[in-house]
Amino acid sequence: MLAVLRNRTYRHLFLAQVIALIGTGLATVALGLLAFNLAGANAGAVLGTALAIKMIAYVGVAPIASAFAERLPRRAMLVTLDLVRAGVAVMLPFVTEIWQVYILIFLLQSASAAFTPTFQATIPDVLPNERDYTRALSLSRLAYDLESVVSPLLAAALLTVISFNSLFAGTVIGFAASALLVVSVVLPSPKPAAPRGIYDRTTRGLRIYLKTPRLRGLLALTFAVSAAGAMVIVNTVVLVQAGFGLDQQWTAIALAAFGAGSMGAAFALPALLDRFPDRAVMLVGAAILVAAMLLGSLLAGYASLLILWAVVGIGYSVTQTPAGRLIRRSSNPEDRPALFAAQFALSHATWLVTYPLAGWLGVAAGLPLTFLVMAAIAASGLLAALYLWPAHDPVIVEHTHADLPAGHAHIAQARPAGTGYVHAHDFIIDNEHASWPAR
């Protein structure tokens, strides 16, 4: 897996991602402490609102930002967004009112909503070989999992010698270092195929996404991922500290079990995806999540929770990590920023549903019933994916063009058939292919 780091450009981008993630993790810890400092016992409400603002920014800003990403040099755009995030982080220690937190969080997450899809769309252009790209996806998953473990531990160590406000300095350093690493390499910036209006550029990724069967299946599977993931993120502390009467360190260990399962799956995925189709692997991952949520309703003790969370981590990684391969396979280079932005927005929209549901339902109806509801959501996503994503999903598809005039360059090698022209090639929704061929 690590052989892909021999590519200098990818190596710098991966290091930029890791450093920025650690900085973001430090900010997450510091933000919780800042909320408590400002709101005391109401800190949970402040953080809940901040999380909702984050998701709204992700869902609303990503498609708009993608409309401009294709028109701007990627390196300049990524560096500028890193510097914007660093600038916002500089201001966070100086806030004195809760509303200031909300504004700065919106600005920070809006910049992230523009940065992340553009960054993701760059990697397949840097690593055009699918085997290399698969390994890069697994490394990216590992980076996210390591961040969830390393950042809290690093923050805990730093808090023994500095105040929580000083943790934001780590965030600034992380984003600044990310900008320096990005500026140190030359990045490809594919040109758009043809001039398009702002509406077309803003909605193009969503339209391509929703017209592609495998991506509709991916969206359905994202509901399974978010249902199980929200249960872990929202209710671990409730299960451990309220349910089992344990303290904070055991909550951290339970979350680490989830991360360990996810990391283990990320290591195994490249070999699995070399042997089995993406669809089969991802459906198995979703089935694991459904089974885990059903078993969660019967949870008996802390040891069983650790095992369960590790299993959820495995299903989470197996279902989610190959998503980039599907997007790469379903887009032309010039449309990738828009398509990654669509995935970013739509996937976070599912979390916007499952986050509050996991929390509110846990309080109102109890955690056993909440597990069953999340199992039902995950199962619905799995069943929808089975229907929306056909088992026969070739890359090369024979199809007919009845709407292109004779002599059009795209059908130069096609054969006449009835009122149109027939040929076969890697099928992608674009200007010449407005809809998917009928099954």
- On the 0-12 / 13-18 / 19+ scale of CB atoms within 10 A, 97 is exposed
Give the C-alpha separation, 373 to 349, whole Å.
18
How much is the pLDDT for 280? 96
DSSP state of 411: G
- The runs of H, that is alpha helices, within 276-366 are 278-296, 302-320, 323-329, 336-365
| Higher pLDDT, residue 222 or 73 | 222
For residue 343 the two structure tokens come to: 């995935």
3-state secondary structure of 425: strand
Mean pLDDT of 171-186: 92
> Band of the pLDDT at 309, cuts 50, 70, 90?
very high
Going by pLDDT thresholds of 50, 70 and 90, the confidence category of residue 373 is: very high
pLDDT score at 55:
80
Band (197; pLDDT cuts 50, 70, 90): low
CA dist 424 and 417 (Å) reads 13
pLDDT per position as a tens digit, 32-65: 667 767 776 565 556 667 777 878 888 888 777 7
According to the model, what pLDDT value does residue 287 have?
98
State the pLDDT confidence band at 177, using cuts at 50, 70 and 90. very high
Asked if 175 contacts 86 with a C-beta cutoff of 8 angstroms, the reply is: yes
The larger pLDDT score, comparing residue 369 to residue 204, is at 369
Q: How confident is the model at residue 4 (pLDDT cuts 50, 70, 90)?
A: confident
- What one-character DSSP code corresponds to residue 424? E
pLDDT above 90 (res 389): yes
Q: Is the pLDDT of residue 145 over 70?
A: no
Q: Count other Cβ atoms within 10 Å, centred on residue 245.
A: 9
- Dihedrals φ, ψ of 433, to 5°? -135, 90
Q: Tens of pLDDT along 91-101?
A: 988 888 888 88
Average pLDDT over residues 122-144: 82
- Which tokens go with 376? 């039902």
pLDDT at 438: 77
State the amino acid at position 341 in one-letter form: A
pLDDT on residue 46: 67
pLDDT grade for 312, boundaries at 50, 70 and 90: very high
Burial class of residue 387 (count of CB atoms within 10 Å of its CB; 0-12, 13-18, 19+): exposed
Predicted local distance difference test score (pLDDT) of residue 300 = 87
Q: Enumerate domains of the chain plus CATH numbers.
A: 1-189 (1.20.1250.20), 202-392 (1.20.1250.20), 394-439 (no CATH)
- Alpha-carbon distance of 281 to 319, in angstroms, equals 7
Q: Please, which residues have CB within 8 angstroms of residue 274's CB and are 6 or more apart in sequence?
A: 131, 134
Highest mean pLDDT out of 28-42, 108-122, 387-401: 387-401
For residue 298, is pLDDT > 90? yes
What is the reported pLDDT for 147?
67
pLDDT of residue 70: 66
Residue 148 has pLDDT above 70, yes or no: no
Label residue 189 by pLDDT band (50, 70, 90).
low
Give the mean pLDDT of the chain.
85
**pLDDT score for 372:** 97
Q: In this model, does residue 254 exceed pLDDT 70?
A: yes
pLDDT at 96: 85
Q: Minimum mean pLDDT among 91-100, 151-160, 253-262: which range?
A: 151-160
* pLDDT confidence tier of residue 209, bands split at 50, 70 and 90: very high
pLDDT of 383 reads: 98
